[in-house]
Amino acid sequence: MMLAAKQWPDVEIRGIVYAGGYVKERNPRALAAQRAAILRSYLVQLGVDERNIWVDTRIIEKPDVDDNGNPTLNQMAVSLVPICLGGCERLCNDPRVIPNSKVIQ
């Protein structure tokens, strides 16, 4: 994911981190914070500016459900998005940006 993001032309990369602790784990709030810190550190090592990382922690009270109807905890997730000065319309249909999109006006 990071290799693809580094191909985005003339933008910075924002990392959005979601980290959770399952309510049945010991000290889920601390686990969520620890997971978030580890993922934040990893993104910095990969080249994301620390100022461009947003973190959201949560306590997972009941499992999520995957596409097949199976329970899943999804304790950590990350999204990478471009930070575009003046808008990202110029990135639409650029083959270096996956997935491609189009401007909605």
29 close to 59: Cβ distance less than 8 angstroms: yes
- Of 36, 38, 39, 40, residue with least CA distance to 51: 40
Could you report the per-residue pLDDT of 22-55, keeping only the tens digit for each? 999 999 999 999 999 999 999 999 999 999 999 9
Q: Structural domains in the chain? A: 2-91 (3.30.1330.60)
* For residue 105, pLDDT beyond 50: no
Distance CA 56, CA 71 (A): 21
Helix or strand or coil: residue 76? strand
